[in-house]
Each structure stands twice: as structure tokens, then as C-alpha cells.
A = this chain, B = another copy of it.
Amino acid sequence: MGLQVRFTDELRSLAGAKWEAVINHRFTDALAAGTIDRDVLARYLVQDHRFLDSFVVLLSSMVAAAPSLAARIPGCQFLALITGRENTYFERSFAALGVDDAARESAPDTAPTVAFKALMRDAAKATYSEMLAVLVAAEWSYQSWGERVLPAAVQEPFTSREWVDLHSGEYFGSVVEYLRGLLDEAAATMTPAERAAVEVRFLAAVDIELAFFDAAYEDS
């Protein structure tokens, strides 16, 4: 590869200021500091958990579409994490924040949640590269803020700490590198039209990530 720029670096450059706005959002600073308003965090988690199912559909679809067993294995392990440890984080956090089932169920989907579900479900039926574009945008942006705030992250409450830990560190870094690697590899044989479709998916995901953080500060 030498001095060649990675395709996924080009995608990030395309997102420009939007990418920076996502990874430097005040939500993540307040989360890491443990000073985040409980209602803001509760609103965020209720909505985030809403598209976990669509995320699993997208990731499992990518695993099925990947070109080899080696390319599938890390995806399978990550599927187990997000439906295991990450899912229990949500359950424990809702209990700690006093969000009961009725409150969770009665909150309407916010506009970014509706958009995320649609993007993930739609990408899951599109090409392998488009699936990866959405996965890379979501996980890489989260890792980027996770690593950024990690040095300042407090130990308690666990609602803050575990959400930072789930999105930083060696294991999560390996997941992001894995997803980026698959997309970089796929880029080598993309037609211009396929590449354009991938860019559209990536930029759409970054836009929604930003709107999603913003929405946590809007009373529903």
C-alpha cells in the first residue's frame, strides 16, 4: 500500500466538519465526566436501544455477505458482544436511571432514530460495501469519541463508564480496524457507481449520528 491513502480515510475526509462534530459532541464530554443530565442520558439510551435490532440485522447480513470465513469470524464475535454485554448494559442502565418499561415503550422514536432504522434496514438489503459503509461510520465514529474521552472518563457511575469502555480500548479498536479493512479491501474492485453509493451511505450515517446526539437534548 505504501503511501496510498486508505479508502476509509477518504470517506472520513469527505464527512469533514460533520465527522468532527460527531466525535467532539458535548454529549460525550458530559458522559465521560459523569456530569451528564440523567434525563438526557435516559432519552439517548432509550433511543439508542431502539435500533439495536436493526444494527444486528445489518451486521449479520454483512457477515453472511462477506467473502470468506476469516472475514466472517470477527463479525460473529462482535454480534455476540452487542447482543450480550452491550445489551445487558442497557437493561442495567434503564434500571439505574429509573426508566421503566412503560416509559421506554411510550417514548416515540425521534426523527434520527427513524432515519437510522431505515438506513440500516435498507443498507442490509443493498451491497456488501454499502453494508460496511454504515457499519464503519457508526463504529469508527464511536471509537473516535470513545478514545478521545477515555483519559478523562470517571469510574462512576457505571452508566457513564461502561458506555465509554464499550467504545474504546484494544478489543473495540480491533473491531473498527476489521470493519475498515473489509471496506478498504472491497474498495479495490468498486466501480465508480458503487463507490458513489458507498459515499452516500457513509455520509448519511454521519449526519444521523450528529442529529442523534443533538436529539438527546431535545425534550420529547
A residues adjacent to B (C-beta < 8 A): 52-53, 56-57, 60-61, 63-64, 68-69, 72-73, 75-77, 79-80, 82-84, 87, 124
**Cβ contacts under 8 Å, A124 to chain B:** 64
For the complex, what is the distance from the CA of A53 to the CA of B57, rounded to whole Å? 19
- Whether A83 pairs with B72 at a CB distance below 8 angstroms is yes
Query: Assuming A79-B79, A79-B80, A80-B80, is B87 touching A72 (CB within 8 A)?
Result: no
**Interface-central residue, A60, A68, A75, by most chain B CB under 10 Å:** A60
What are 9 A-B residue pairs whose CB atoms fall within 8 Å in the complex?
Answer: A53-B72, A56-B72, A56-B76, A61-B61, A61-B64, A63-B79, A73-B83, A76-B84, A79-B80
Identical chains in the assembly: 2
Query: Assuming A60-B64, A63-B60, A64-B57, is B76 touching A80 (CB within 8 A)?
Result: yes
For the complex, what is the distance from the CA of A200 to the CA of B107, rounded to whole Å? 45
With A56-B69, A64-B124, A76-B82 given, can you name 13 additional A-B contacts, CB distance below 8 Å?
A53-B72, A56-B64, A56-B72, A56-B76, A60-B60, A60-B61, A72-B83, A73-B84, A76-B79, A76-B80, A76-B83, A77-B80, A79-B79
Query: Assuming A68-B53, A80-B79, A80-B80, is B60 touching A73 (CB within 8 A)?
Result: no
Query: Assuming A60-B60, A64-B124, A76-B79, is B84 touching A69 (CB within 8 A)?
Result: no
Nearest CB in chain B to that of A53: its residue: B69
Nearest CB in chain B to that of A79: its residue: B76
**Cross-chain contact of A73 among B61, B68, B75, B87 (Cβ < 8 A):** B87
**Cβ contacts under 8 Å, A53 to chain B:** 68-69, 72
Q: Which 8 A-B pairs have the closest CB atoms?
A: A80-B80, A76-B79, A53-B69, A60-B63, A60-B64, A76-B83, A73-B83, A61-B64
For the complex, what is the distance from the CA of A52 to the CA of B72, rounded to whole Å? 11
**Interface-central residue, A68, A76, A79, A82, by most chain B CB under 10 Å:** A76
For the complex, what is the distance from the CA of A166 to the CA of B36, rounded to whole Å? 45
**Cβ contacts under 8 Å, A76 to chain B:** 56, 60, 76, 79-80, 82-84
